Structures are given as structure tokens and as C-alpha cells.
Structure 1
Amino acid sequence: MNSATGSDDPRDYLLDQGYENYTETDHATWNTLARRQRDILKGRIADQFLDGLDRLGIGEEGIPDFRAMNQRLRAAIGWEVVAVPGLIPDLAFFRLLADRKFPAGFWIRKPEQIDYIEEPDIFHDVFGHVPLIMQPIYADYLEAYGKAGLVAAEHGALKRLARLYWYTVEFGLAQTPQGLRIVGAGIASSPGETVFSLESPSSNRIGFDLARVMRTLYRIDDYQETYFVLDGVEAWPSLDLDRLIPLWKELEAQEDIQPGEIQSEDRVLTNGDGSYHRDKAKSAA
């Protein structure tokens, strides 16, 4: 989710991608990222993600041109990607999603930032997020999320929606017949977290529960201490407002849950040993 301040009208942030302004270095950076990430995602990402990459032509032929990509998106699913300058205010973000428009940064990291950037760039936004939008149930989930966000703003529940987005759209895992697979864009665009999320003994992996997720704090500065696991690649939660509004009121009386904490009622798939974050804290002390 976004956290910038400013106008809540999404039209104030829409830009032309400026495709002709990308340099050879920009395209080469994209190709390096895409090649590396596609290789490391094999056997770890949901098949639907790889199918979306192929159907949209998101590959190693340079930065995608939104005009060409949107022709395929609109024809298949009624969505489009729109260029924005970076993080935009929450309400503008929600309104775009509710209108089946996905906001994406148009700039790409520098070669010296190849392994890490603080603010999401076009590689994270397009390579990480857009392929699954070709999955109808996921596309509908994003639209419903945008509509729920607008209502959450009226009920003081934005932090609940931020946590839901974080633990599903950005850092979600899902059960498949082949085992656990990645569905979150924050993982799918990060080589380190791709491996860590599935294979590290450090983190918890817990069955998805809507109320539990909306109570849980998260880390923005490192790999996650807990990942929530959907029951399937198509098991995105229903965001029925008749259910959400009473749930938000109920959660007001409950304490937040720390990122690495396990609750007695959790469906624990992996009880992590916390070694990664504990060792990192010791080395920083």
C-alpha cells in the first residue's frame, strides 16, 4: 500500500510512461533483473504467475511498453497499468484499484542498485505485480480491495487494510498440489526473499486467517518473520463489506500481534526458529 500525502484524486498523479526516454542502460538493467528473477522463481512461484508473464510479453526484451501491455490486459481482464511518479496517497491508490487500474512507477533502479532499492520501481511494480492480474479471481480481489479501502478510510481501519495487502498481495504464499508457492509481488521481485520465504527455517508459515492477518504487524526493513499461506492460488479472501465493517469494530478491542509471534489458534505450517532476525539483531548490537 501507499503512504504518500497529497491530493486524493488519482488523476493528479497519472503520467505518460515516457517509454522513448528509457536508455540502453535502463533496458539492460531490466533484462538483468528479469533473467535472474525468472530463473530463481522456477519451482517456487505459482504457475499462474509465469503464465501471466508469458501472456503479457513481460520478459527479457527490455522494459515493457505500457501501451502494448495494456492492450493485452484490457482484452483479457479489463484492467490496465497506469504510470505514476511513485508512492501516491491511499485514497488515490484505492480509487485506481476500484476502477481496475494498477498504478506503477515508471522509473527503474540504477545498475548499482540492482539488489536493493527502498522505493518500488517499475521492475517491482510490473514484473512483480502485473502477471497475476491475468488471473480473474486475483483481478477481482484487487478491485474489491480498492473498494474496501475507500470504506476503511471512513471507519479508521486503514491499518487493517495495509496489513492485508502486505501479507497477501506483497508477501503471500499459497498451497498447491506441488507444495508451497509464492503469490506475493514483494517476494516475486526479490531474489533473496524468493528463497528465504520458502526455505529458511527462521520464519513462521501460518495458514491464512483474515482477522489474524489484520491484527499482525509487519516488517518493512527486512525479510518477513511470518508468512501467511492461502489455501490455494485462487483462495484470495472475500472482502464483503457486510463482514469487514463488523470485523474492524471487533478488532479495535484486540491487541496487535508482533510480526514473529505465534498464537495458540494459528494453523502453523512452519514454526520458525527466528534465527535470521535474532542473529541480525545480535550483530547490530
Structure 2
Amino acid sequence: MTETKNTNKKAIKIAVSNQKGGVGKTTTVLNIGAALALQNRKVLLVDCDPQHHLSNWLDFSPDGKPTTSDIIFSTVTNQTIDFDNCIRHNEEENIDFIPSINVLAGMLGIIAADNNSSNVISRIFDNEYFNKNYDYIIFDCQTALDLLVTNVLKACDKLLIPVQADILSYEGVEQMTDTFMRVKNDTDIRKYLIGMLVTMYQTNTKHSATIFNELKESYGDLVFNTYISYRTEAKNSVGFRRSSVSDHKSVVGAQYIEVSHKIMEVCENV
């Protein structure tokens, strides 16, 4: 493992979440992870979605080693966890990840039965193993704001909200920020919010520009100046099982690299 690069010498935990589906959460997790890895940051991606799109994208196949659900179960039942055995590495993107499988959907009852049910994910990722080995831990959350997602939100230092350039996605932003503040028991969202990232922006429509401008008017500098374009290349990257960032000719990849610079600025004060 490489030494951490962030000045706090503590893994920065980021939740990528929005209660509306289809806004590009998984695409954002993968591409930001890949972009940060390009900046020599050690990155761990954690798939917390039972549909495991991120794991599929990273070309994961069941290998008999622990997944997200196994780690949760072991934590709740007070079993020792060998974290090295839980980590997979993707050579293409140069990032580590913890995969998910369908069984994760059944973990809600396990988490709810825990005496400290709101802090299960916190207990896992507060382990010094992660601070020692990673600069960033990025969580891909499912759409539902259930107990697993609120666990992730509570565990994370920062929140990034992908917002599709669409009115329904825009209207869900306030609900997402309200949920996060309730979980954190804090009304100062600026301490936690890296930003709102407009995704699937169509440059040939007034609608995308209108949503982007309205977000800027409502939330100001909490909205990234960089937006993520709606381009066929982003969809194709899923089929090729690679990030847009890994293609140096990709417009979307270049946009995500710009976003990664802003993330480092916010999280590392660089």
C-alpha cells in the first residue's frame, strides 16, 4: 500500500447519494475514483447498492471472499474481519474496491437488530486500517434512503450529490440535504457538502441550462461549475467496463478530472 497524500493522514469518506434514481451516481463514483487515482491518491470504492452496478462495472465475479454484506454481518455479530481479504484491485483504473452482491438487500434486518444500528458502517470504516491505507473512500449508495444509506451518510465526512439536468432531480435536492442534516444532527450543510454535480447535461437544450442556472441561483458555490455532459461515450464505457477517465480523448473523462481537482481542493485544502 502507498502512503496517504491528504494532509490529515486520515481517509476522507465521501457518500455519493441522491434519492432519485438514474442521475449517474455509479458513473460518478467510478470516474471520480479513477480521476483521484490519477492524482496519485489511494482510493477505495465501496459498493453499497444491492444491484451492484459498480461491482459489475469493475468486472467483479464472485470469488468466495467477503463482500459488503459479509463485512456488515461480521461487524454486527462481533466477528474478526480480515480487511485485506475483503479488498479487490482493478488494474485498469488502479483503484481498490469492496464489491456488493444481491444478499446486501437482506442486511437491513441485520443492521436494525444491532444495538447501535445507526453506526454499523461507521464502526467498520473508522478502523485504522482504512486511515493507514487510503486517502479517499467513496461509497456508491442505492436510491432508497433506508437504514443502510443513512448509515453510510452518518459514517461519511462529505457528501456529493449528482443532480441530473432535469426538473424532478432538481426538486429532490432539498430532500437529500435535509436527510443528510438530520442524520448528522447538524444544520450547517456547508461543513459536509462537497457540492452538487450536474450530470447528463445536454448542451443543445435550454432545459439543461435552465436547471443548471436555477441550481446556481438556489445553492450558489455549492454547485460545481463543471457539469457532466450527456454523451454516448459515457454509456459505451459501461459496456467496455472502464471509466471515461481512462480514455484520454474522452470529454466526460476530462470533466470528471476537473471535478476531482475541486474535490481535492475542498477536502485537502490544497
Give the structure-2-normalised TM-score: 0.27
Q: Which has the larger radius of gyration?
A: 1
Structure with larger RCO (C-alpha < 8 A, sep 6+): 2
Structure-1-length-normalised TM-score: 0.26
